[in-house]
Amino acid sequence: MIKRLVSIIILAVVITSLFMVLSETAPFGDDETVVSHRYIYKGVDETGSANLVTAVVLNYRGFDTLGEVTVLFVAATGVGAALYTRKHPVRKNKVEASLIVKTGSKLLFPMMLLFGAYIFVHGHLTPGGGFQGGAVIATAFVFKYISDTRYSIDHVGFTKMESASGMIFAGLGIMGLLLGGYFLLNILPNGTPGELISAGILPIIYIAIGIKVGAELTGIIDRMMGVEA
């Protein structure tokens, strides 16, 4: 009990000071920074992407995103390594899902996939993108796993898709290096901002990221589902 009290007091000190410092140095609702100024005013012209977040993530900070995807890949590999079993993992669900869930999943699963695809294809126009779309796809597979006790993803196919999409991302970067002199150069024309076919290579990258994130998150879920406790 005394431990809790002490920790609460310490936390109160730390958090209160954090709060006070924040309200003094960065008041809520204040103006944007200089870097963001450039992104906001030049972003659409320079990248062709209507969604400025996408412009930052894929164009200005595209290299970071490649690193982020790598981190995701390493984490998925780590999960696989930590949960490795000698036997091939087998799913063992004692309780079957109810008929409603089963039927609903059959109806909803393709729609969820479609929605995920929609999100990452339109990443440069509307809110959303490869990460969100990939997460939605992974959620669809979670749903499928819950409803169907015998369902298991095609591991080989998923691995191939994941590798292929990762290679597309890296390959586009190298192509920029070859054609224009620096990594991840936007080698395609920007087009008209606001149209589906616009913003150069950004939609292609986002599709690749969407597939990769979806495959990896699904792989993580599959790993955690499959191991016997």
Partner 1 sequence: MMFYFASAALIAIGIYMLMVKKNLIKMILGLSVIDSGVNLLLISIGYINGKTAPIIQPGVSPSNVVDPLPQALVLTNIVIGVSVTALALSVVIRVYKHYKTLNSSEVRDLKW
Partner 2 sequence: MLEFLNPMLRPEWMISLLFIGALLTYFAGKVSSALRTTFAIIFSVFVAFLVFLSGSRDVLTYWRPSASPMGFRFVLSINALSWFFALMISMVSALTIVYSAGFGKNTEKDNAFYGLNLLLMGAMLGVVFSGDMLSFFIFWEIMTLASYLLTTLAGKRAEKGALNYMIISTAGAYSILIGMTMIYTRFGTLEFSGLASVMGGADPMFLLITLSMLGIGFAVKAALAPFYVWAPPAYSEAPDSFTPVFSGALSKLGPYGFTLFMYGIVGLPALAKMGTFRGISDFGYIIALLGSITAVIATLYAIAQDDIKKLLAYSSISQLGYVMMGIGIGTSIGVAGGLYHALNHAIFKTTLFMGAGVLIYTTGSRKLSDMGGLGTKMPITFLTMLIAIFALAGIPMTGGFGSKWLLYEAAIDKKFVLIAPLAFIASVGAFLYSFRILQSAFLGQLPERLKGAKDPSPLITIPMLFFAGLLVLFGIAPGIPLGIIASVESYLGIPALNVSTYSVYLGANFGAYNAFTVMTVITLALLVALALFFIAKKSRKVGQTDTYMAGEVPEHHVDLYLHYSMNFYRPLERIFAPYLRNRLERLYDAFGSGYELISEGIRRIYTGDVQHYVYYVMVFLAVMILAGWWWL
Partner 3 sequence: MIEVAVGFLVIAMIIFSVYAAETGDLMYAVVAVMAVSLIVSMLFYVLQAPDVAMAEAAIGAGLTTAVFVLAIKKTERYEHD
Q: Which residues bind partner 1 (CB under 8 A)?
A: 3-4, 7-8, 11-12, 14-15, 18-19, 22-23, 26, 28-33, 35-36, 39-41, 43-44, 50-53, 55-57, 61, 64-65, 68, 71-72, 75-76, 78-79, 82-83, 125-127, 129, 131, 135, 193-194, 213, 216-217, 220, 223-224, 227, 229
Which residues 6+ apart lie within 8 Å of 85 measured at CB?
A: 227, 228
- Other Cβ atoms closer than 10 A to 141: 23
- Among 18, 81, 49, smallest CA distance to 196 is for 49
Q: In this complex, which beta carbon is closest to partner 2, that of residue 17 or of residue 103?
A: 17
Looking up tokens 């000190």, which residue turns up? 13
User: Are 91 and 170 a contacting pair, CB within 8 Å?
Assistant: no
Answer positive or negative: Cα dihedral of 32, 189, 183, 124. positive
In angstroms, give the least distance from the CB of 26 to partner 2: 18
Q: In this complex, which beta carbon is closest to partner 1, that of residue 127 or of residue 157?
A: 127
Q: In this complex, which beta carbon is closest to partner 1, that of residue 63 or of residue 110?
A: 63
Q: Which of residues 1-20 bind partner 2 (CB under 8 A)?
A: 7, 10-11, 13-14, 17
